[in-house]
Amino acid sequence: MIVEQGLISFLKKFDEQPFLVKLDGKEYKIGEGEPTFTVKFNKSIPVSSLLTSTSIALGEAYMDGDLEIEGDLYEALDHFLGQMGKFSTDQNALKKLIFTSSSKKNQQKEVRSHYDIGNDFYKLWLDETMSYSCGYFRHEDDTLYQAQVNKVDYILQKLYLKEGMRLLDIGCGWGFLLIEAAKKYKVHGTGITLSEEQYKECQKRIKEEGLEDYVKVELMDYRDLPKMGEQFDRVVSVGMVEHVGRENYKLFLECANKVMKKGGLFLLHFISALKEHPGDAWIKKYIFPGGMIPSLREMLTEMAEFDFHTMDVENLRLHYNRTLRCWRKNYLEHLDEVRKMFDERFIRMWDLYLAACAATFHNGIIDLHQILMTKGINNDLPLVRWY
C-alpha cells in the first residue's frame, strides 16, 4: 500500500493536463478536466526507481507490460514529456550509463548496436530512400518519401554544388544523399560510416545505379579522415555528430576542417538542444548508447575556433516531429513482420522510442538544426539566397 501511495504521489506532479491512473483495482484522476488517456499499472513501481531515473523506470515498465496506456501512446508521452523538467535522474548512480567512453572501439560498438540490427528491419518503416533523419515537408500533403527527397534536394541546393566538385558525407547512412548528388550534379562523392550494414547496402546501391566512378563509401571513423590525404570542396554531415560525444565536438570539426578546401561549404544537420544536457537515461540504455545532443550555442562556439563562418542557421524541429510520426505509423503497420524478427519487449521498446522522440520534438525539448558554414571567407557565392 505504501508503494502504491508513493507512486500516485509522484505522478501527481504531472498535472498540467488531466489523465487517469489505474492501480491495484482503484482509479485516480490527476489534473483538472476530462482525462484523455489512462495509465494502467499491472505492477507498481517503487518511488526509489522513479527517483533514480523516471524515464528508465517508466520505460522499462512499459516494455515489460507492467504499464499500459489506454488511449494514444503519443498523446500520453506528449503530456509527460512536456513536463520533463519534473523527471528525476540520479547522475551519480547512472554515471557509467550516461557518460560512456568516446574511444574509437567503444563508439564503433555503440553505433553498430543501433544501426546494425538489420537493413530488412529498417526497410519496413523507413521510406524507399532509406533516409533515417528528419524529412522536409514543403507541402502539407507531402508523403514521407517526398519529404526525404525534399530534404536531400534542399541540402544539395544549400551546398551550391558544381559539376566535378568533391563531396564528403560524414555518416552517410545508406547513401541516398551521395547518390542523388552524383546523379543530379555530377560531383564525386565519398561517404564514411561505422555501420557494416549501411556500408554493405550503400555499396550495393552505388553498383545498382552504375555510379562506381562517382561515389565510394568507406568503413571509417571520422577521426581517420585526415589520413585519407584527400581534400573536398563540400562537406555534409546529417545526424552523425550526435554520436561523437561532447568532449569530441571540437575534434570532429577539426577533422572536417583538415579535409576541406579553403572557401569550401560545410552543412551540419543535427539534433540539438537549447542547453547542454547529458541526455536521457532510457534512450542511452536502450536506443542510442553514448548518444549526446549538442546545444546550438556550443556548436557555433566550436566552429569559430576553425574559422568556420556561419552563413545560415535553420530549425526544422516540427518537420522531425512529423517525420517520426510517419515512421511510427509505418512501424505499426508492419508489426506482423517485426514479430518475425524480434520479441514483444523489443516491439514495445521501439514503439516507445519513436513516439517519445516525436513528443520531445513537439515540446521543444530537442530541435533539429542545419548550420551552413564556409571555411574562411567565400566571396564567390551569390549575394541572394541560392536555395
With beta carbons less than 8 A apart as the criterion, state whether 350 and 149 touch: no
Nearest-5° angle of CA 110, CA 111, CA 116? 110
Give the whole-angstrom CA distance, residue 205 versus residue 194.
Answer: 17
Q: Which residues lie below 8 Å from residue 69, measured CB to CB, with a gap of 6+?
A: 37, 38, 39, 40, 62, 76
Contact 199, 174 (CB under 8 A): no
Radius of gyration of the chain (CA): 22
**Cell output for 48:** 526509489
- Look up cell 547542454; give the residue: 276
- SS3 readout for 114-128: HHCCCHHHHHHHCCC
Side-chain half-sphere CA neighbours of 5 within 13 A: 2
Q: Just list the catalytic residues.
A: 357
Question: Is residue 159 within 8 Å of residue 167, measured between CB atoms?
Answer: yes
d(CA 19, CA 28): 9
d(CA 34, CA 363): 22
Distances (CA, A) of 292 to 124, 137, 201, 295, 316: 27, 26, 26, 10, 19
Distance CA 334, CA 52 (A): 35
